[in-house]
Amino acid sequence: MNRAFSSLHPAVSFVFFAVMIVFTMLFMQPVFLGVTLISALIFSFILNGRRGVKLSFLVYLPMFLLIAVSNPLFNHRGRTTLFFFMDNPITLEAILYGICSAASLIAILAWFSCYSKVITSDKFLYLFAKLTPAVALLITMTIRMISKLKYQLKTISNAQHTIGLDQRTGSLSERVKKGMRVISILLSWSMEDAIETADSMKARGYGLKNRTTFSLFKFDTRDGLVLGLISVLAGICFAGYFSGYGTMQFYPSIRPLNLSPQAIVLYIAFAVLALLPIIIEVRESCKWRAYK
């Protein structure tokens, strides 16, 4: 589906996901983690629809509980003992730490699932082509090749089937033999085809110097604005992280939440950053509704 955020230039969306995933890994603090987890999940719902909800209940929730529960069971650090379980102390600090690390992990997973929806293979190739054009072309050709091979394999196997030499029947050794035949036909056929493909490439000037790489993506003003916003917000958050706002002391006892003005500014900046795709989506759908 063509979403507002997905239509941004691949470089912008790639930077966004890179920044979010790095921050989610770096920050070990309930406010940040809560913000990143919630926005990742909402965005994943927007992108995946009903499947996203199903995914989060069937995969994320059990995983979250597993990590959140297992940390206090195996980790007994912390001063505030709540109760004993099989003669082991269960501490408040360990429970909270468990919840935070589970949130961090689930948030990373959720961001990755969004990433794979937004950065499709052609976008990835485009980004990759900037680094190594030759490899990118090779990947493109391979994608084409694989679908062609699949088709050829089916054709061959059908043709062999109708002369009674199908690899799906007979004893095991017969099957192996017939299977090998099919593969051998496939190899020689595809090699023969490859010669023609090579001719077609040469005929269109492949091998000339200074090959360029074309793409359909255009970097427009909107991409610039969003990228600028992402950079400013990410800059603020990085500054905050390096001045120690990103982490919190859990052991031996939990420090109270930092609510100084600087910290509040930081929380807001991070929230805006994390919610950016959702804001873009919502803005666009509001516009559509208004047009109707």
Partner 1 sequence: MACLQIENLSFSYPNTQERALESVNLEIKEGEFVLVCGVSGCGKSTLLRHIKREITPHGSKVGTVYYRGVEIEKLDQRMAASEIGFVMQNPETQLVTDTVWHELAFGLENSGLSTSEIRRKVAEMASFFGIDGWFRKSVDELSGGQKQLLNLASVMAMQPKLLILDEPTAQLDPIAAQDFLATVAKINRELAVTVILTEHRLEEVFLMADRIVVMEKGAIVCFDTPEQTAKLLANSHHKQSMFKGLPSAIRIYSEIRLGNHCPLSVRDGRKWLAEYMIPVEKVFDDQVNDRAQKQKQKPVIAAEEIWFKYSKAGNDILRGFSLKAYSGEILCVLGGNGTGKTTMLGVISGLLKQYRGKVVINGKKIEAFQAKELYRNNLALLPQNPTALFVCDTVLGDLEEAATMLRLDKETLSTEIDRIAIELRITKFFERHPYDLSGGEQQKVALAKLLLLDPKIVLLDEPTKGLDAESKEELGEILKKLGSQDVAIVIVTHDIEFAAEYADQCAMMFDGNIVSEGKAKEFFAGNNFYTTAANRMARGIFPKAVTCEDVIALCKISG
Q: What angle do CA 244, 248, 253 make, to 5 degrees?
A: 140
Residue 136 CB, shortest distance to partner 1, in Å, is: 10
- Coil vs helix vs strand at 272: helix
- Tokens 């680094």 correspond to what residue? 131
Instruction: Name the H helices within 27-132.
Output: 30-48, 50-55, 61-74, 92-118, 121-131
Nearer to partner 1 by Cβ, of 161 and 222: the residue is 161
Residue 112 CB, shortest distance to partner 1, in Å, is: 24
**Residue 15 burial by CB count (10 A; 0-12/13-18/19+): exposed, middle or buried?**
middle
Residue 17 CB, shortest distance to partner 1, in Å, is: 23
Measured distance CA(10)–CA(125) in Å, rounded = 10
Q: Who contacts 216 (Cβ-Cβ below 8 Å, separation ≥6)?
A: none
Nearer to partner 1 by Cβ, of 210 and 260: the residue is 210
Nearer to partner 1 by Cβ, of 153 and 275: the residue is 153
Residue 133 CB, shortest distance to partner 1, in Å, is: 9
Residues found near partner 1 in the complex (CB under 8 A): 122, 137, 140-141, 143-144, 147-148, 152, 155-156, 158-166, 169, 178, 181, 184-185, 188-189, 192-194, 196-197, 199-216
Tokens of 21: 């995933």
Nearer to partner 1 by Cβ, of 70 and 213: the residue is 213
Residue 11 CB, shortest distance to partner 1, in Å, is: 14
Nearer to partner 1 by Cβ, of 221 and 260: the residue is 221
Residue 63 CB, shortest distance to partner 1, in Å, is: 34
**With contact defined as beta carbons under 8 Å apart, do 269 and 233 qualify?**
yes
**With contact defined as beta carbons under 8 Å apart, do 28 and 247 qualify?**
yes
Nearer to partner 1 by Cβ, of 86 and 163: the residue is 163
**With contact defined as beta carbons under 8 Å apart, do 48 and 262 qualify?**
no
